[in-house]
Structures are given as C-alpha cells and as structure tokens.
Amino acid sequence: MPYNPSARHSRWKQAVYQVVFEADTHAGQAFDVTLLWAILISVLVVMLESVQSINQQYGPYLRALEWFFTILFTIEYIIRLIVVRRPLGYAFSFLGIIDFLAIIPTFLSLIIVGSQYLLIIRTIRLLRVFRILKLSRFVGEAAVITGALKASRHKILVFLTSVVAMVVITGTLMYVIEGGKNGFTSIPQSIYWAIVTLTTVGYGDISPTTTLGKALASIIMIMGYAIIAVPTGIVTAELSRPYQKTYKHVICHVCQATDHEEDAEFCRKCGEKL
C-alpha cells in the first residue's frame, strides 16, 4: 500500500480531536479533568494576586504561575484550532470566544496594568463539566429553561418597558416633591433613587424627608415586592407548558453546536452530519 501522508495526518488530527473535544475515552476524560483543575487553580491564582498582603509577599510567584497557565491555555487553544475541521467556526463559537478571552488578558496586562484580573472569565470554561460528567439531562433541562425564556421574551420586554416608565415618573415626582435640599439634586439622581427603592435594594444614600415624599416612597417599596412576582410568573407559565422535545448532548465536530433533538441526524446549526 503506498504511503499517504495526508491520510496519516488526518488520523493524527482525528485522534487528537477525540482527546480534546470528546469525553468518551479515558484519554479525553483525563484531558478534560486536568483542564478543569488548571482552570480552577489559575482562577485561584488571580484571586490571590488581588489580595494586597499576599501579592506583596508572593507576587512574583503568582505572576509566574499566571503566565504558565496562560501559555498552557494558549497552546491548548491553538491545538483546538488545528484539529477542528472548521477553525473559524470554532473560533467564533461561544466556547471558542471564551477560550480566546481566557488567554488574552495576560497579554493585555503588558500594555494595560490590571487587565490580568479579567482572567476570572476562565470560570465560564467550567461549563465543560457538563460534558465531562455526562450530565446530558442537565443540558436538556437547560434547553427547556432557554425555550421558556425565549417564548416569554416579548412579555418580559413589555414588563421592563413599564418598569422603566414607572421609575422615570416616580423619580421625577420625587425630584419635584423633595428638591435638591434633600439630596434629590436632579431628575437622573431621583430616577436612581427610584430604581434602588423599587428593586428593594435601599442603599440609604438618599432618602425623602417630607411627609409626601415618604408616602410616595412607601408606595414604591410596596410596588417593588409586587413587581418581583411578575417576571417569575411569566417564565413559570412558560415552563409549565409541556415540552415534548428531548435532547441529546452530541457535539457537532464542525461548529461545536450542542442540544440536538434526540432523533437528529444532522447539526441544527450548520447541517453537518452528526
């Protein structure tokens, strides 16, 4: 049989692809578990670096570890681009973008001081745990929740628009009632107070002093508790509807899309055969 370097190269890519992108083999599981530990440790390093007392004593060691993990993740990212069939498809996928954002802050820190703390975005990469532990049922449940949110997005948009109008009106009323002498120095400042009060956060940095202002504040607080139930009811109503579709957690080897229907033979996103 004649030597075929391209076929051998393809087999090499396929073998590496199964290790890097799949978790069905022992090598793939070991790779992903090692990756998760590396992510956790790198995030811990970034957190410790932000503690001034620790940074003063162990700063050089922490920065060395930070660069070590960044180089490690950079090599991993390049390998993923090499072995995937469509590199651009992976690069612009959700996980591909997160993988890129997980390494770029360290390089940016050479130009912008402090940007390395954005490496905390690496925690999003822990989403791969669903694939590693084969928690496909959780992926299916996540698809149900996503479907409910999509189905109720117009209602939620109308609700949020009403809330915005409400805080603008009540904030303006409070500005008229209290005025600048009581801390309500402008309409935007008063709207800020209305948002804080309506959401029941209540920082207390601004508060009404007049009787009418306190009465309006009381109404807004009571309305805040009522408003919390509205989006919850909207989404719950959508969740209570029966969803007949079941999902399987198969990763498309071209675009990395997941959440395909149980009987799907082709990718829902790019049409490639699963």
> For residue range 164-188, what is the model confidence (pLDDT) as tens digits?
998 999 999 999 998 888 889 899 9
How far is residue 123 CA from its own chain's centroid? 9
Q: What is the mean pLDDT of residues 133-160?
A: 69
pLDDT exceeds cutoff 80 at 244:
no
Q: What pLDDT digit, counting tens, does each position of 247-266 carry? A: 455 567 667 666 666 667 77
Whole-prediction pTM? 0.55
pLDDT exceeds cutoff 70 at 9:
no
Q: Any residues with CB less than 8 A from the CB of 148 and at least 6 apart, and which?
A: 235, 238, 239, 241
Q: Among residues of the chain, what percentage have pLDDT more than 70?
A: 77
Q: What is the mean pLDDT of residues 113-139?
A: 63
Q: What is the mean pLDDT of residues 216-232?
A: 83
Mean pLDDT of the chain, nearest integer = 78
Cα–Cα distance for residue pair 142/30, rounded to 1 Å: 26
- Helix axes 153-178 and 211-239, enclosed angle (nearest 10): 180
